[in-house]
Structure 1
């Protein structure tokens, strides 16, 4: 599903060059649930920006769903971000002045899905994350854990096969974090491929595979030891 070959990322500041990724090779198959870990400055965030088609300025090859997207233009990458990748962020990124239902509908607006179908699919997504009784609430009227569940509903509403989660439990308490990981495990059991950045080893244990970055290189790539199932 996801394969990168010899990915090099160099940041240029004036006359100085800093190589953030040193030729990364990685393959993630359909149905995997992978944690990306590493200290600040390790290259993991740079790598995730490339995987999420948020950064196209790199050397090497990136294949997504068997397509070489390395040289795609901005509008082609925008289409992939909307249709093929679901994003979940640490800060939720919900709009506070519209309802939860309307927040979940937003990706479908950009995809020009008809109104009736948008509402149907948004309701189905909110039911999947256990928030069907909160559809009229606004984001400032619900808890942090519920906000992240809304964000997951928004991520899955266009039915992507690939979800990218960036520190999705970073702002949550332990109980809410486990609720989020349970939803991710359920989505993964249904066939969704998930790649998740986390700095928490306890959270990584709920994934199937752990990849660790250090100084722009992958230094660990192994199955999750003592994996936890919720």
Structure 2
């Protein structure tokens, strides 16, 4: 479903250059729950940005659902991001003036979905994260854990090919982090493909596959040992 082949990415600032990815190869199949880990400067964020079509590779190939996205134009990439990828960020990225419901509806507005369908799909997504009672509230009226659940609802509302989560528990305490990871595990059990960037080994232990990045290269790609499955209360 997702495949990158011999991918290179170099950033240049004046006369200085830094190669963040050095010929990376990675394949992720539908239904996987994969964490990407690595120290600061390892290339994991660059890898995430390329997988999420937020940045362009310099050399190599990226195929998503048998489509080569490596050389797509900006408009095509925008459509891929909207239709194929659901994003969950550490800082939530919710719009403060919009209600919870309106924040979840936003990707569908860009996708041209009718207002009736938008509302139905947004309510369904919010029900999956147990937030239907909060739809008229704004982001500053809810907790950090609730904000991240809104972000997850927004990520799944377009039924994307995969969810890209960047440090989704980074701003949350341990108990709320557990609740968020339970949601991700439930979504994965329902068939969602999830790629999660994290620097926390305990958070990676809730996923099924661990990819370790160092100095712009994948140094390990393995099944998560002693995986933790969060039980229903």
Please indicate, yes or no, whether the TM-score normalized by the shorter chain is above 0.5: yes
Which residues of structure 2 form unaligned runs of 5+? none
Question: Which whole-Å CA distance do the structure 1 matches of 2:32 and 2:57 have between them?
Answer: 26
* Maintained 8 Å contact 2:3/2:25: yes
What residue is the counterpart of 1:97 in the other structure? Answer: 97
Question: Which whole-Å CA distance do the structure 1 matches of 2:157 and 2:102 have between them?
Answer: 12
What residue is the counterpart of 1:130 in the other structure? Answer: 130
What residue is the counterpart of 1:143 in the other structure? Answer: 143
Question: Which whole-Å CA distance do the structure 1 matches of 2:57 and 2:24 have between them?
Answer: 15
Question: Which whole-Å CA distance do the structure 2 matches of 1:215 and 1:78 have between them?
Answer: 29
Question: Which whole-Å CA distance do the structure 1 matches of 2:227 and 2:211 have between them?
Answer: 14
* Maintained 8 Å contact 2:11/2:17: yes
Question: Which whole-Å CA distance do the structure 2 matches of 1:161 and 1:46 have between them?
Answer: 20
1:67: how far off? 1.0
| Residues 131-185 of structure 1: CA deviation (Å, up to 9, x unaligned) | 0111111111111000000000000011112000000000001111011101101
**Aligned counterparts, 1:197-216, within 5 A:** 197-216=197-216
**Aligned counterparts, 1:96-175, within 5 A:** 96-175=96-175
What root-mean-square deviation, in Å, do the aligned CA atoms of Structure 1 and Structure 2 show?
Answer: 0.7
2:32 aligned with 1:37: no
Question: Which whole-Å CA distance do the structure 1 matches of 2:26 and 2:77 have between them?
Answer: 20
What residue is the counterpart of 1:227 in the other structure? Answer: 227
What residue is the counterpart of 2:188 in the other structure? Answer: 188
* Maintained 8 Å contact 1:167/1:196: yes
TM-score, normalised to structure 2, is: 0.97
3-state SS of 1:133 partner: helix
| Count of residues paired in the alignment | 230
What residue is the counterpart of 2:23 in the other structure? Answer: 23
* Maintained 8 Å contact 1:161/1:191: no
1:72: how far off? 0.5
3-state SS of 2:134 partner: coil
1:12: how far off? 1.6
* Maintained 8 Å contact 1:84/1:162: yes
